[in-house]
Structure 1
Amino acid sequence: MSYAEVASKGPKQTPEEAAAPQPPQVVVDDSTSTSSLIDVDTPSVRTVPSDFAEQDIQTETQADRIEREEAAKKVREKAEALRAEADLAKKKAKSKAKKADTWLTKRFENMGDGPAGALAAANLIAVIGLSGWLGFKAWGLYERGRLSWKDVGLGLGVLGAVGAVEGAFTNYLYKAKGKGKDQ
């Protein structure tokens, strides 16, 4: 049995009970006054004068605000000083690196074609030898079933580091030889 069937078997409502409640009525009389509301057109509304920040301190809140602003200003000045110091250190480091670069390039410039060619050939032979040796070791580990991704990564890391050093070395050698041809 449903709720509607059960409810229909009970006592009937009277028309007063079935009717919706009456909405509240607003009683208008002379006792309601709007005099307590603020009229924005009258001079009673206060605004802050434009020279408020320059006025004398009158409250603790103003004093705290000024104190916070001064502390923030000091922090900004200190950060600017540190930034300037860091820029100066960066310029000095760049200058030192350029001096070292120039020194190394001059050493390779002074080297004749014979020794420079021999040095380049020795470098190439060393890289090929290292690659061959690492390959031989990797093949041995593979045959024994002990080659892991860690070993492969280590070998590739060694080859990458050697390649980076060789690239820098060759770059200086070519720079030096390029300058020697121009002069």
Structure 2
Amino acid sequence: MAENVKARERDLLLLSYADVAASGPKQSAEELRQAAAPHPPSVVTNESASTASLVDVDMPSVHTVPPDFTEQEVKTDTQANRIEREASAKKAKAKRGAHEADNWLQAQFSKLSDGTAGALAVANLASVVGLSSYLGYKAWGLYENGRLTWQNIGIGVGILAAVGAAESVVGRYLYKGKKADSS
């Protein structure tokens, strides 16, 4: 008998809530109707809904994103404006730097006295004439040995052009410096 009591206690411990609720007193049909949830309100289907407030996908107010949006370097107008402002600031800074260097060179050449400036001009002229003479002498030697080629002539002309360009830049600053002194 004691075993039956223990088995029954064990079975009672293993019962679920549904088992316990089912073992209690039964409700009448009237009690079940009163405990049930109320019926949901019915929808009147004979009225037409206004679609004026709905967004139409064909309207220009709807914005779509291109498929390669995540791969684009610039994704927004704000970002594009910022990049443009940064680029223009860099250009302005570079222009200011070039202008400051130009002014510095002009100041250095304007400090030269007329005698120094004249000596510098004579030295520049002598260097160009000397370089031209040396290149001409080398070209004549190559010509006499039969080894003068268009490539050698091109290299010589290139050297003279580079030296001439450098001399014109230096001469321009020298001229600007002298002009600033006379003012």
After TM superposition, the score normalised by the length of structure 1 is 0.61
Task: Tell whether 2:50 aligns with 1:52.
Answer: no
1:22-49 Cα offsets, whole Å, 9 max, x none, are xxxxxxxxxxxxxxxxxxxxxxxxxxx7
Q: In 2, distance between residues paired with 1:79 and 1:109?
A: 45
- TM-score normalised per structure 2: 0.61
CA distance in structure 2 between the partners assigned to 1:163 and 1:131 by the alignment? 11
Pair 1:139–1:53, CA change in 2 (3 A) = same
Q: RMSD of aligned C-alpha atoms?
A: 2.5
CA distance in 2, matches of 1:114, 1:152: 37
In 2, the alpha carbon distance for the partners of 1:70 and 1:132 equals 64
Shift of the alpha carbon at 1:141? 0.5
Percentage of pairs with the same residue: 45
C-alpha distance in 1 between matches for 2:68 and 2:96? 38
Q: Distance in 2 between matches of 1:158 and 1:75?
A: 50
- For the structure 1 residues 85 and 137, does the alpha-carbon distance in structure 2 shift closer, same or farther, using more than 3 Å as the test? same
Deviations 1:140-179 (A, max 9, x none): 1011111111111111110000000000000000000011
Q: For structure 2, which runs of at least 5 residues remain unmatched after alignment?
A: 1-55
Please state how far the C-alpha of 1:91 moved relative to its aligned partner: 1.0
**Number of residues paired by the alignment?**
125
The structural deviation recorded for 1:75 is 5.3
Partner SS for 1:68: coil
Residue equivalent to 2:153 = 152
SS at match of 1:74: coil
Structure 2 counterparts to residues 6-155 of structure 1, below 5 A:
52-54=59-61, 66-68=64-66, 71=69, 74=75, 77-155=78-156
Amino acid of the residue matched to residue 52 of structure 1? M
Structure 1, gaps ≥5 residues long: 1-48, 56-64
Match in the other structure for 2:9: none
Distance (Å, rounded) in 2 between the aligned partners of 1:173 and 1:122: 13
Give the CA deviation at 1:88: 1.2
Q: Which secondary structure does the structure 1 equivalent of 2:66 belong to?
A: helix
Q: Following the alignment from structure 2 to structure 1, what is the Cα–Cα distance between the partners of residues 67 and 117? A: 64
For residue 154 of structure 2, what is the amino acid of its counterpart? G
Moved over 4 A (4+): none
| Correspondence for 1:14 | none
Cα drift, residue 135 of structure 1: 0.6
